[in-house]
Structure 1
Amino acid sequence: MVGPQRPLFVLFGSSIVQFSYSNDGWGSILSDLYARKADILFRGYSGWNSRRAVQVLDQIFPKDATVQPSLVIVYFGGNDSMGSHSSGLGPHVPLPEYIENMRKIAIHLKSLSEKTRIIFLTCPPVNEELISQSTSTIFTRLGRTNEACGRYSEACIDMCKEMDLKVIDLWTAVQKRENWRETCFIDGIHFSSEGSNVVVEEILKVLKEAEWEPSLHWKSMPTEFAEDSPYDVIAIDGKTTINISEWAFHRKIQWD
């Protein structure tokens, strides 16, 4: 550990998490916003489904860890929703099992600490035409449809409401964007910078509105070593100074 200790955020999921540092991704945006606010860890595993995630919960989130996360953002479902293979192999997980797996994840995370907050992300939509044009991989052979993503998204929302968990309906939020099929993806599945902007906007909306104590919204959290000192300020006009530790955040006006 490197101190001082900051709140710990963990992003846990499949490739939507693993690739969230690429293409001006939503993970990199959050890391930028929370610089000097929180430590953000990525636990993203491309190709994984909820079945695989449940198998490693104790390894990724040990209950006896000295430091437990303040926030965990969870995404699984896109791979689960894919078509099944006759061999029984592949990423597909039947919808009832998917919900049971997500429930197990939620129960485990809630048991870590009474201060651990949780946000689930639902399946985003997909651009089926772009998938078929850009790849001949498993996504095309087994099928990844917008309709299936919608069903898994709706089921995840219902489960979260039942368990009183925060959930972000990415399937709906992305499709509200103008020309979302063309602008929100790099390959029909994974987010472009525009798609990642949608994810960040929705996450920040939840964090701002949540009645959590302490607040985990970036503008409400203290900045590490933010006190004024001769080393932390710069002169503007010979009279006025600004604190550099806070100045960078003022420039990120779009994320208010």
Structure 2
Amino acid sequence: MVGPTRPEFVLFGSSIVQMSYDRRGWGAILADIYSRRVLFLSLSPPADILLRGYLGWNSRRAVNVLDQIFPKDAAVKPSLVMVYFGGNDSMGPHPSGLGPHVPLPEYIENMRKIASHLKSLSDSTRIIFLSCPPVNEAVINENIRSGSFSEMIRTNELCKQYSEACIKLCQEINVTSVDLFTAVQRKDDWMNTCFIDGIHFSAEGSKIVVEEILKVLREADWKPSLHWKSMPIEFSEDSPYDIAAADGKTTFNPSSSTFYWEIQDDDTTTNIINLCIKT
């Protein structure tokens, strides 16, 4: 532990989560955005974004480790948990009986169990489910033909079924959701720009994920708000040790800046390119 205990934002899921810190991924962007944001000014340090992603996992495996990853007797309960399972569940069954496929009715019940467990942690723990995004079937099939994978059935029709089931469940049990299947397909040429391998998000795809998450956080009626612009900034006071401004008489306060990312949020764009800083 470094310094005081921080509020926890946990990303829980399969490889979409595990790889979210890679290639300017959506987890890394969120960690940057929230690196100086606190829940209560002078009462809490900035939020830590914790990665709990497991490549190849499905909802069945997730249910089996809920008590280990989210123990009910933990001293610190997460303020926000973002959950993604569905892509591997939605794969067609392998002839051998091996593989991550989970029948749709079981997937729904597994996601219900995950939501129930997370709700039981604390009245202040907020939950967001991310639905199954689309895939580039042509690229996936090319990988199969190249011998990278065994026989694998992964189609947009199956992704759509599991995505819709996740959204419907969230409406039923009052859990906030992000419809990634629809959001990704709003972008022109999404199949060629949003993925690195037909499945996992590229930098362009990750920006869509972040924009959708921030939209949900901005619109959610949560007290306190977990949207980054609504949260106070840690150590935000001006300092003579900040970088000198162009006028040579004042300093530039960088505390509200984010680095490297281009995020569309709340009808404004924060453009951070290379080492330039813009607020």
TM-score, normalised to structure 2's length? 0.86
- Quick one: which amino acid aligns to residue 104 of structure 1? K
Looking at structure 2, the residues matched to 68 and 202 of structure 1 have their Cα atoms a distance apart, in angstroms, of 24
User: Does 2:32 align with 1:21?
Assistant: no
The aligned runs of 1:107-256 (5 Å cut-off) are: 107-135=116-144, 136-138=147-149, 141-232=151-242, 234-248=244-258, 254-256=264-266
Identity, in percent, stands at 71
Distance 1:144 1:115, change over 3 A: same
- 1:123 positional shift: 0.4
User: Does 2:44 align with 1:62?
Assistant: no
Structure with greater proportional helix content? 1
Looking at structure 2, the residues matched to 253 and 13 of structure 1 have their Cα atoms a distance apart, in angstroms, of 23
- 1:233 positional shift: 6.0
Looking at structure 2, the residues matched to 172 and 100 of structure 1 have their Cα atoms a distance apart, in angstroms, of 23
TM-score, normalised to structure 1's length? 0.94
Select the residue among 78, 99, 109 that pairs with 2:87.
78
Looking at structure 1, the residues matched to 66 and 170 of structure 2 have their Cα atoms a distance apart, in angstroms, of 19
Answer whether contact 2:210 2:263 (CA < 8 A) is retained.
Answer: no
SS of the counterpart of 2:252? strand
Answer whether contact 2:140 2:198 (CA < 8 A) is retained.
Answer: yes
SS of the counterpart of 1:73? strand
Answer whether contact 1:234 1:243 (CA < 8 A) is retained.
Answer: no
SS of the counterpart of 1:203? helix
Structure 1 counterpart of 2:270:
none
* Greater mean alpha carbon deviation, residues 129-138 or residues 151-160: 129-138
1:128-185 superposed Cα distances (whole Å, 9 cap, x missing partner): 00111234344x6121111000000000011000011110110011011101111111
Answer whether contact 1:77 1:123 (CA < 8 A) is retained.
Answer: yes
- Quick one: which amino acid aligns to residue 29 of structure 2? I
1:194-222 superposed Cα distances (whole Å, 9 cap, x missing partner): 11111000000000111111111111112
- 1:247 positional shift: 4.1
1:41-60 superposed Cα distances (whole Å, 9 cap, x missing partner): 00000000000000000000
Looking at structure 1, the residues matched to 31 and 213 of structure 2 have their Cα atoms a distance apart, in angstroms, of 13
* Count of residue pairs the alignment pairs up: 254
Structure 1: runs of 5+ lacking an equivalent: none
Looking at structure 2, the residues matched to 253 and 50 of structure 1 have their Cα atoms a distance apart, in angstroms, of 30
Looking at structure 2, the residues matched to 76 and 34 of structure 1 have their Cα atoms a distance apart, in angstroms, of 24
Structure 2: runs of 5+ lacking an equivalent: 38-46, 267-279
Looking at structure 2, the residues matched to 221 and 78 of structure 1 have their Cα atoms a distance apart, in angstroms, of 32
Distance 1:137 1:210, change over 3 A: same
Looking at structure 2, the residues matched to 123 and 101 of structure 1 have their Cα atoms a distance apart, in angstroms, of 15
Looking at structure 1, the residues matched to 148 and 110 of structure 2 have their Cα atoms a distance apart, in angstroms, of 26
